[in-house]
């Protein structure tokens, strides 16, 4: 059986029913919207309907069981005994169906996610490739005119550039936020026209061969209000401090704190309202999390891939965010988004 399933077995106290599509894909290579994997000590069964039968049969080390399209109803008939389920993935209705058939269901969290957090070499290469696409897009974007275009126009342009540079898709809807809208960390690009003398936050990433990238840069469209210039300087200092703290064994919460303290020691205290970063892999947001709310025991491991993305959000004025994607390497952080972090002025 494959090494990923073997590692998962080491974490289990009862058989685990894997129903999150991304986790089934991680463990078997099968991309399916209707599949489940049951991992037991002595056997592994992969359940799916006829649409995926050929691909599922080709999965090594798993017995394929063809079910009807109503996968959960089929599982309810086929399975019994105590079974762990993925509490974040199984819907309430599906849980009721399985419990109604007499299965003894044990909620489990984060088991496959814990494995996914530590990347293998091949996965790191895929993320490096996705990050390189995104980096080339920032290089090209910096040559373009920003002012006079709406946020939405520029966001579509970024999506187009990602495609041109080889992305399979965007890993999340591109954020372009200018002026007051930039003060919202999850701003939705709208009809606001970019004017001179503003910051423009551009947060973009792509997927390539299944793996995601994520990067943010903040551009200036000419002379900024002094407060925003100062905020950029502080944000960059916080970002560099956070990056320097990324190493195997570092407590995730402490990495967040290092960056946060830089901002909180200034007049911008409290203006950084989200966590410092998140893991990136098959999903653009996954384990581990760098945040004040991360459990105190969680530490970074070699092979994690995380973002470091402090922001300073000034209501009514504008926002700054600077985000790199980095591999937690045994010899220090490997930054996959080398595009400049000096404040770039565009037209
Ligand atoms: Zn981002
Ligand atoms: Zn991010």
192: domain CATH number is 3.90.230.10
Using one digit for the tens of pLDDT, what is the confidence trace for 157-193?
A: 999 999 999 999 999 999 999 988 888 888 889 999 9
Residues 95 and 163 in one domain: no
- pLDDT over 80 (residue 140): yes
Residues 7 and 103 in one domain: yes
Residues 291 and 171 in one domain: yes
Q: What is the mean pLDDT of the chain?
A: 96
Residues 74 and 184 in one domain: no
- pLDDT over 60 (residue 218): yes
197 alpha carbon – ligand 2 mean position (Å):
26
Among 86, 116, 146, which residue terminates a domain? 116
193 alpha carbon – ligand 1 mean position (Å):
22
Q: Is residue 326 part of a domain?
A: yes
CB-based burial, 224-241: b 16+ in 10 Å, e otherwise: beeebebbbebbbbbbbb
142 CB-contact burial (10 Å; exposed 0-12 / middle 13-18 / buried 19+): middle
Residues 50 and 123 in one domain: no
Which residue range is the domain that position 52 belongs to? 3-116
Q: Is residue 340 part of a domain?
A: no
Among 87, 116, 145, which residue terminates a domain? 116
Chain-centre distance for alpha carbon 152: 23
User: Domain total for the chain?
Assistant: 2
pLDDT of residue 182: 85
- Residue 109: CB atoms within 10 A of its CB come to 11
Please work out, in degrees rounded to the nearest 5, the angle formed at the alpha carbon of residue 310 by the alpha carbons of 305 and 311. 140
- Residue 184: CB atoms within 10 A of its CB come to 15
255 alpha carbon – ligand 1 mean position (Å):
18
CB-based burial, 165-181: b 16+ in 10 Å, e otherwise: bebeebbbebbbbbbbb
Ion ligand 2, residues whose Cβ is below 5 A away: 214, 307
- Residue 321: CB atoms within 10 A of its CB come to 24
Residues 211 and 133 in one domain: yes
Q: What is the pTM of this model?
A: 0.94
Ligand nearest to the CA of 278: 2
Residues 101 and 234 in one domain: no
Q: Is residue 346 part of a domain?
A: no
pLDDT of residue 247: 96
Residues 209 and 316 in one domain: yes
The answer for residues whose C-beta is within 8 angstroms of residue 230's C-beta and 6 or more apart is 266
17 alpha carbon – ligand 1 mean position (Å):
32
15 alpha carbon – ligand 2 mean position (Å):
34
Q: Is residue 302 part of a domain?
A: yes
Provide the 3-class DSSP secondary structure of residue 318: strand
If you average pLDDT over residues 2-19, what whole number do you get? 96
**Look-up: residue for tokens 């840069």?**
217
Residues 217 and 306 in one domain: yes
- pLDDT over 70 (residue 1): no
Chain-centre distance for alpha carbon 70: 30
Q: Is residue 145 part of a domain?
A: yes
Chain-centre distance for alpha carbon 128: 14
Ion ligand 1, residues whose Cβ is below 5 A away: 203, 214, 216, 323
Using one digit for the tens of pLDDT, what is the confidence trace for 319-332?
A: 999 999 999 999 88
Cα-based distances in Å from 93 to 24, 90, 96, 97, 152: 20, 8, 5, 6, 38
Q: Is residue 341 part of a domain?
A: no
Residues 77 and 145 in one domain: no
304 alpha carbon – ligand 2 mean position (Å):
14
Residues 132 and 250 in one domain: yes
Q: Is residue 93 part of a domain?
A: yes
The DSSP 8-state label assigned to residue 172 in this structure reads S
Among 68, 100, 116, which residue terminates a domain? 116
Ligand nearest to the CA of 308: 2
The DSSP 8-state label assigned to residue 322 in this structure reads -
158 alpha carbon – ligand 1 mean position (Å):
13
Ligand nearest to the CA of 277: 2
191 alpha carbon – ligand 1 mean position (Å):
21
CATH of the domain at 65: 3.40.350.10
Residues 193 and 161 in one domain: yes
């Amino acid at each position: 059986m494959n090494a990923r399933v073997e590692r998962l077995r080491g974490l289990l106290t009862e058989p685990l029913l894997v129903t999150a599509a991304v986790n089934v894909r991680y463990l078997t290579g099968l991309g399916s919207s209707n599949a489940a994997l049951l991992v037991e000590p002595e056997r592994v069964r992969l359940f799916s309907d006829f649409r995926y039968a050929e691909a599922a049969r080709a999965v090594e080390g798993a017995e394929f069981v063809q079910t009807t399209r109503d996968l959960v109803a089929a599982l309810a008939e086929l399975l019994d005994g105590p079974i762990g389920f993925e509490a974040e993935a199984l819907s309430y209705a599906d849980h009721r169906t399985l419990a109604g058939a007499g299965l003894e269901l044990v909620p489990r969290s984060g088991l496959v996610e814990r494995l996914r957090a530590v990347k293998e070499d091949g996965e790191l290469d895929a993320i490096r490739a996705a990050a390189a696409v995104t980096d080339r897009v920032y290089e090209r974007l910096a040559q373009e005119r920003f002012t006079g275009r709406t946020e939405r126009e520029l966001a579509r342009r970024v999506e187009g550039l990602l495609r041109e540079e080889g992305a399979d898709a965007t890993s999340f809807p591109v954020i372009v936020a200018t002026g007051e809208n930039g003060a919202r960390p999850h701003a939705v690009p709208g009809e606001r026209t970019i004017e001179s003398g503003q910051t423009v936050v551009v947060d973009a990433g792509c997927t390539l061969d299944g793996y995601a990238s994520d990067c943010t840069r903040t551009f200036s469209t000419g002379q900024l209000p002094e407060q925003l210039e100062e905020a950029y300087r502080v944000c960059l200092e916080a970002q560099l401090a956070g990056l320097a703290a990324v190493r195997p064994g570092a407590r995730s919460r402490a990495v967040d704190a290092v960056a946060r303290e830089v901002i909180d020691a200034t007049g911008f205290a409290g203006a950084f309202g989200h966590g410092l970063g998140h893991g990136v892999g098959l999903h653009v947001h996954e384990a581990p999390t760098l945040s004040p709310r991360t459990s105190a025991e969680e530490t970074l491991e070699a092979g994690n891939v995380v973002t470091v993305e402090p922001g300073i959000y000034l209501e009514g004025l504008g926002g700054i965010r600077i985000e790199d994607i980095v591999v937690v390497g045994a010899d220090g952080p490997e930054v996959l988004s080398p595009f400049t972090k000096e404040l770039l002025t565009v037209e």
